[in-house]
Structure formats: C-alpha cells, structure tokens
Amino acid sequence: MKVTFLGTGTSQGVPVIACECTVCSSHDHHDKRLRVSVLLEIDGKNLVIDAGPDFRYQMLRAGVKNLDAILFTHEHKDHVAGLDDIRAFNYKQQSEIDIYAHRRVQDALKKEFHYIFSGNNYPGIPQLKLNDIEDNQIFTAAGIEIIPISVMHFQLPIFGFRIGNFTYITDAKTITDEQKEKIKGSEILVINALQKEKHISHFTLSEALDFAAEINAPKTYLTHVSHRMGTHHEISGELPEGVFMAYDGLELEI
C-alpha cells in the first residue's frame, strides 16, 4: 500500500487568508497545507479519504488518473466540499464512483449537492453510488477490507479508518478504550494535532502525543495542523522518537 498525504491542514488551510503570522509567511513548502485528505493506492485501486474544497487541485498535483472510491470521515465542509469534481473521473472511467459514508453524512451530502440527487439527471452531473458505513461493522471498498474507527469530534461522532496496518484518524477529540483496541497493532498511525493550546473539538499537540504513546505504533504522523501550531521545522524538533509531522505530498510505503 502507498499512502500520499494530499492535504494536512485545517478547515482554513495554511497559509490562512490575510494572515501574516510566522507560519503563514513561511517559504518552507512543508508549511503549505491544503485541507486534510489522503490517497491510498492498494493493489491497483485508488481510494481517497475525504474530498474537501482542494480536491480538484489535490488530484491534479498527485497525478491521479483513476478513482475507485471516496471514504468520508464526516460532513464538515472542509471534508466534503470537493465532491462535485468527481465528474472528471466519471467521464474518463465511464462509471459512477463509490461513496462510503455514514447515513447522517449521506443526508448532508444530499442537501449540499441537491442537484445530484434531485432525480433530474441533468447532463454532466456527478455520478455516484452511496454505500453505508455503520458503527463497528467492517466493510469492503474496491475489494479492500476497511475497519471503521468511531471517534468523537466534540459532540459529533465521526469515523477514522484502519486498512491493514495503517490507521488514519482526523478531527478527533475523544476516543474510547473499545475503539483504541481496533487501532493497536498498527504499524503506522495518523492522528490529528491542531495546535498547542486547548481546543474544544480537536486533539492538541500534547493530547496527540499522549495518544500516540498509548497506541505505541512504530511510526505516528501528525495531521490536520493549523497555523497556530508553529512551523514544521520548529515542531519537528520537539517531537519524540517515532513521531513525525505529516506534510502535503508526503508518501509512505506500507
């Protein structure tokens, strides 16, 4: 399996519009973060987790030529806003794209992209097939077995995913012991770390590091990083052994 980090930033991305802080003013490419998403290439299949407002550019930048499925963690705009751009894959592949999401997230998509689901098959609208993800039920996407990890984003239940020995979680604030058991044994853990200061709905850096130590994966990568965290170079120097800052374009072979 090959993992490509398409985006590692927060809902506003980094740099933030009109911000002149040290991070937003940085010329280091590691500090340029699109909205959070990853590409999984497994046995000739391409799966994307989340398709936010940068989806089109992320597909172009990563050179993605075909897409088999999109998995949605939750319905917030920075995770779903790019759904319309699957049209290019519909046209090239002459097929619909499988979408995997909780029923609640599907309902949100039907409101946000009402023209897709109106029943009026206007030429050129995205073609997709909705598939349910349910709590504690393993599912298969493009022939790949996926374990959903239920976590809380403040008061909103969302999904992380484990594929083989790779676990990807973003926007988490609390995770139960039951769900942690599904994660343990992963070779690579990706977890959100928003900033150093306390936050109501995201892991802080210290909370993410505590979680990483508890899971004890050989390698942990931090994502969903805001401009308030500090520069990539600065924070990388503060991390313990086996923990790394993810960045846009980072590729992992598992």
The number of C-alpha atoms within 13 Å of 235 and in the hemisphere containing its C-beta is 27
Contact 99/72 with Cβ under 8 angstroms?
A: yes
Taking the complete model, does pTM exceed 0.95, yes or no? yes
Mean local confidence (pLDDT), 190-201: 97
Tell whether the model's pLDDT for residue 155 goes beyond 90. Answer: yes
Contact 149/167 with Cβ under 8 angstroms?
A: yes
User: Between vectors from CA 73 to CA 67 and to CA 75, what angle results, nearest 5°?
Assistant: 100
Instruction: Give the model's pLDDT for residue 91.
Output: 96
Q: What 3-state DSSP class applies to 83?
A: helix
Contact 7/54 with Cβ under 8 angstroms?
A: yes
Contact 86/51 with Cβ under 8 angstroms?
A: yes
User: Between vectors from CA 7 to CA 246 and to CA 195, what angle results, nearest 5°?
Assistant: 60
pLDDT in tens, 92-142: 999 999 999 999 999 999 999 999 999 887 888 999 999 999 999 999 999
- Residue numbers of the domain that contains 119: 2-253
pLDDT in tens, 202-244: 999 999 999 999 999 999 999 999 999 999 999 999 999 999 9
Q: CATH number of the domain at 42, please.
A: 3.60.15.10
Gyration radius from the chain CA atoms: 17
Tell whether the model's pLDDT for residue 24 goes beyond 90. Answer: yes
Count up the domains in the chain and report the number. 1
Residue 224: count other Cβ atoms within 10 Å of its Cβ. Answer: 27
Instruction: Give the model's pLDDT for residue 199.
Output: 95
Written as one string, the DSSP assignment of 213-233 is: HHHT-SEEEEESB-TTS--HH
